[in-house]
Amino acid sequence: MTGKTHIIGGIAASLAFAQITNYEPIILLGAGVVGAVIPDICHGSSKIGRSLPLLSKLISGLFGHRTFTHSLLFLVLFAVLMHSFMPVEAISAGILVGMASHIVLDMATKRGVKLFFPFRWNVRFPITATTGGTSEYLVFAVLSLLCVYFGYGVFLPL
């Protein structure tokens, strides 16, 4: 998936999560967008990879793309770090929701992810989208509609 699809996925996931929690939706939303790009730190041409090129090159050299940073292990380690050092729970929750949305979206690509890293098992959905292709645009459109739906439920409750 491309960066914009990951970002809209992070927004949709954060808005959906805001409906079932008491966290401030704006904080969840901002943190969710940040979290949605973090797993691609392992890819030098990603939005975050271009912002932090040395870290991106180091992680990519150690692990490769869509391995450690796209795994449950990375998500759990990041959660422990966030819990230990982030005083605002809504920010931690939003970042983790965004990261999870990123991993789920990449599971919908032909390449999939190494969800159970360090095991080499590739995990992907039975139906996949081509990155940058028509199917990804359809995913983007559905996520955009979900943002409107969940956003209405969060910001304009009955």
Which is nearest to 20 in space by CA: 87, 105, 97, 83? Answer: 97
Q: Is 82 exposed, middle or buried (0-12, 13-18, 19+ CB in 10 A)?
A: buried
pLDDT given at position 9: 97
β-partners of residue 129 are 109
Size of the chain in residues: 158
pTM for the model = 0.92
- Kindly list the distances between the CA atom of residue 115 and the CA atoms of 72, 85, 107, 118, in Å, as whole numbers in the listed order: 6, 25, 9, 9
Contacts of 21 (CB under 8 A, 6+ apart): 28, 93
Dihedral (CA of 101, 102, 105, 106) sign: negative
CB 98 within 8 A of CB 8: no
Which regions of the chain does DSSP assign to beta strands (E)?
A: none
pLDDT given at position 154: 84
CB 23 within 8 A of CB 94: yes
pLDDT given at position 156: 82
Per-residue pLDDT of the chain (158 residues; tens, 9 = 90+): 899 999 999 999 999 999 999 999 999 999 999 999 999 999 888 889 899 989 999 998 899 888 999 999 999 999 999 999 999 999 999 999 999 999 999 999 999 999 999 999 999 999 999 988 999 999 999 999 999 999 998 888 65
